[in-house]
Amino acid sequence: MKNNSQNSLNYYQFSHIKQLPNIMHGIFTREGGCSSPPYESLNLSFNVGDDPVNVQSNIQRIVRVMFFSHWQSLKQNHSCIVHVVNSINHNTLIGDALITDEPDILLIIKTADCQPVLLADPVKNRVAAIHSGWRGSVQNIIGKTIAKMVELGTKPQHILAGIGPSLGPCCAEFIHYQQELPEYMWSYVSKPNYFNFWEISKTQLQNEGVFAQNIEISEMCTKCCPKLFFSYRRTKIAGRFGSVIGINKK
């Protein structure tokens, strides 16, 4: 991933998606916003107890830095619901994945340990943003999002995928994994009771036809990077950092 800074905001970009001239994206750190502790400072969630005025301001800062006029987020609920966005419905959509081929709509996913997964189809000029926590992984929200993109005309071999900062195999402890995770996931153990969800997501992407060479993993653990990212596992009360992707204005 490539680190960038603009107007006091710090964000990372996947090297392969960054090369696409028609698509903008970024994984924003928690820095550069206006929220007060314990949400300092670039919190994008309206549902964690932060002042909504501050959250709105933080979102607008990101939208401006990305040079977009409109944005779309979700009320995320650890589901496998995928929305295709053709118009703006601020915070009225419930689910965990967004797809669009409309220009000037910035898709926003908010996380604090769950995986943000960004997808780009440069042939059809189509993008997707996925919130994949462990429940989403169990339900294969990644696979369902790609299936919807294919239904719209995308070919999986054209997809570039990025798995953003999230709980790493160093910290993803599941004491009750036999009750929580399907048996096929047990082989992704990194040490007793700890699991590599980055590799699980990579497998789910490949199972849908995405080429291994088109998948980039940030390998940044949110719990291990307190200065950069919010982490629910680390502090319980925490903000949510933003991962965004969209198609440039025509």
First-to-last C-alpha distance (Å) of the chain: 27
Please give the pLDDT value at position 249. 87
Confidence at residue 49, expressed as pLDDT on a 0 to 100 scale: 96
pLDDT at residue 230 in the model: 98
**Distances from the Cα of 110 to the Cα of 127, 158, 160, 247, angstroms:** 17, 26, 20, 19
Give residue 6's pLDDT: 84
Spell 89-115 as b/e; 16+ CB within 10 A means b: eeeeeebbbbbbbbebbbbbbbbbbbb
Going from N- to C-terminal start, the domains of the chain cover 2-247
Tokens of 218: 């940030």
Structure tokens at 21: 């001239």
CATH second-level architecture of 2-247?
4-Layer Sandwich (3.60)
Residue 90 pLDDT: 64
How far apart CA 193 and CA 143 sit, in angstroms, is 25
pLDDT of residue 156: 98
- DSSP secondary structure string, 153-190? T--GGG-EEEE-SB--TTT-B-TTHHHHS-GGGGGGEE
Separation of alpha carbons 144 and 38, rounded Å:
34
pLDDT along the chain (250 residues), means of 10: 86 97 97 96 96 97 96 95 86 91 97 98 98 97 98 98 98 96 96 97 98 98 97 95 94
For position 101, what pLDDT does the model report? 96
Q: At 121, which helix (H) or strand (E)?
A: strand 115-121
Closest by alpha carbon to 115, among 198, 194, 180? 198
pLDDT value at position 5?
A: 86
Predicted local confidence at residue 188, as pLDDT: 97
